[in-house]
Amino acid sequence: MSQTVLITGTGRPHALGFNLVKRYLENGDRVFASVRRPSEALENLKKQYPDALHILNMDIASTASVNAAAAECAKRTESLDLVINNATTASADTMKELPDFDLDLVAPAVNVGAVGPIRVLKAFLPLLKKSGTTKTAPSLSPGPGNRIPGEAGEKTRRENACKITGPLSSEVRSTP
């Protein structure tokens, strides 16, 4: 049975998000792929799957951008079955340890890595609630953009993302 999937962070052809898009399309699923910037590789893939692949311009660091993408998605589908939060970003300081990093440089990466997935789930919640088989995958990308500086920070970011998106996932499943 095919499903309708939203995957964030899909613009780079050799990265996880793009390859997830390919696999879902190959499986016969309908995919909404979000990108922050135009992606030639994704546009080429759309030529192979013109009816199944829908590209959404969305910056998960911006509530307005995410809400606009959700509105565009709602024009093209009645529901979403699965959301995969994969988008990430990087700052040179995200790879540094606590004494060496600048919080002002790290904050945008934390916004994308920790708040972005929540922003996406909140905006797409109406479409998720309309599915009989809704699933969510909290923040898959373990890349440097999803790091709060240091190893303890990385564990904290992942735990917080799961703590926040877990209950949201339960809310989606329990709401008629």
pLDDT of residue 140: 55
> pLDDT per residue over 147-160, tens digit each?
444 444 444 445 55
pLDDT of residue 68: 98
Residue type, 12: R
Mean pLDDT of 70-87: 95
- Check whether 10 has a pLDDT greater than 90: yes
pLDDT of residue 167: 52
> pLDDT per residue over 34-72, tens digit each?
999 999 999 999 999 999 999 999 999 999 999 999 999
pLDDT of residue 146: 42
From CA 136, how far away is CA 121, in angstroms rounded? Answer: 8
Full set of structural domains in the chain with CATH: 4-174 (3.40.50.720)
pLDDT of residue 120: 95
For 163, other C-beta atoms within 10 Å of its C-beta total: 10
> pLDDT per residue over 127-145, tens digit each?
999 998 866 665 555 444 4
> pLDDT per residue over 108-128, tens digit each?
888 888 899 999 999 999 999
89 touches 113 (CB < 8 A)? yes
Residue with the bigger pLDDT between 82 and 94: it is 82
Query: The pTM is what?
Result: 0.80
pLDDT of residue 144: 41
Closest CA to 1 of 81, 83, 76, 121: 81
Q: Residue ranges of the alpha helices (H) in 61-150?
A: 63-76, 103-110, 116-129
Task: Output the average pLDDT for the chain.
Answer: 82
Q: Return the H-helix or E-strand segment holding 34.
A: strand 30-35
Q: How confident is the model at residue 162 (pLDDT cuts 50, 70, 90)?
A: low
